[in-house]
């Protein structure tokens, strides 16, 4: 009997499989002409409100659907559906992120032929979602003012993998020592290509500039 211990790097195998599924999903989205957007942030940063504001800005141009991810809830999906927006709830049952296979299950429950854009509201945290490719065309993160301006130092991967940083709740700036310039500098040092928008999903301030960026991305994708 051999006393050799075999070591299997499970995480590497899982990640490799996820990359394959994610690429297959992007190919599927290209064929169906459906733009997939992955939205990530901490809990309470304003993901759902930002989604609703964004759709309100662009609803006349594009048809939207939403995949809602939570460990154990369907509150946000019900809120989205109440606005007449197709929504599917993905209950992860303890997983702190979505991966490409989970997204596939959600998309299988949607009529993609009737949708131009599907927004994924990922599980709320700044760690795990950054590690898993969801198959999205673009990834966006929200950092809200009450969370503090040190988050690029604490969670660098999230800033590194995101195409866009939305600095949300700027209506709180007058009540906070949050330094927008410092966040911009730290984020751009981690990711020089990241686009940064300052918004308030509550008041609507700045949402138009973010929505215009998204509209251009979707338009290029659909006409490509």
Cα distance between residue 196 and residue 112, in whole Å? 29
Q: Give the torsion sign (CA, 160, 166, 76, 153).
A: positive
12-219 is a CATH 1.10.150.20 domain:
no
For the chain, 224 residues long, give each residue's pLDDT as a single digit of tens: 445 554 444 444 567 789 999 999 999 999 999 999 999 999 999 999 999 999 999 999 999 999 998 866 677 888 899 999 999 988 877 678 889 998 999 999 999 999 999 999 999 999 999 999 999 999 999 999 999 999 999 999 999 999 999 999 999 999 999 999 999 999 999 999 999 999 999 999 999 999 999 999 999 999 98
**pLDDT for residue 129:** 94
| Other C-beta atoms lying within 10 Å of the C-beta of residue 187 | 24
Is 164 in a helix, a strand, or coil? strand
For residue 22, the model assigns a pLDDT of 96
Name the residue with tokens 């999906």.
77
Q: What is the pLDDT of residues 136-147, one digit of tens each?
A: 999 999 999 999
DSSP assignment of 124-148, as one string? S-SSGGGGS----SEEEEEEEGGG-
Output the six-digit token pair for 27: 């190919």
pLDDT of residue 30: 96
Question: What pTM was computed for the model?
Answer: 0.92
């Amino acid at each position: 009997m051999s006393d050799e211990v075999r070591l299997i790097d499970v995480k590497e195998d899982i990640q490799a499989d996820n990359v394959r599924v994610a690429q297959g999903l992007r190919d599927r989205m290209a064929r169906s002409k459906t733009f997939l957007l992955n939205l990530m942030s901490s809990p309470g940063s304003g993901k759902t409100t930002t989604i609703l504001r964004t759709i309100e800005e662009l609803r006349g141009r594009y048809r939207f659907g939403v995949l809602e991810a939570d460990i154990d809830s369907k509150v946000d999906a019900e809120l989205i559906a109440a606005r007449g927006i197709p929504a599917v709830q993905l209950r992860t049952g303890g997983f702190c992120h979505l991966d490409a296979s989970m997204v596939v299950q959600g998309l299988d429950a949607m009529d993609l032929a009737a949708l131009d854009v599907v927004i994924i509201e990922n599980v709320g945290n700044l760690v795990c979602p950054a590690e898993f490719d969801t198959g999205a065309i673009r990834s966006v993160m929200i950092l809200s003012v009450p969370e503090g301006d040190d988050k690029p130092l604490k969670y660098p991967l999230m800033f590194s993998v995101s195409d866009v940083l939305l600095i949300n709740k700027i209506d709180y700036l007058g009540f906070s020592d949050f330094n927008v310039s410092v966040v911009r500098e730290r984020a751009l040092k981690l990711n020089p290509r990241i686009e940064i928008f300052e918004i308030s999903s509550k008041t609507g301030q700045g949402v138009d500039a973010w929505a215009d960026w998204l509209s251009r991305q979707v338009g290029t994708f659909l006409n490509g």
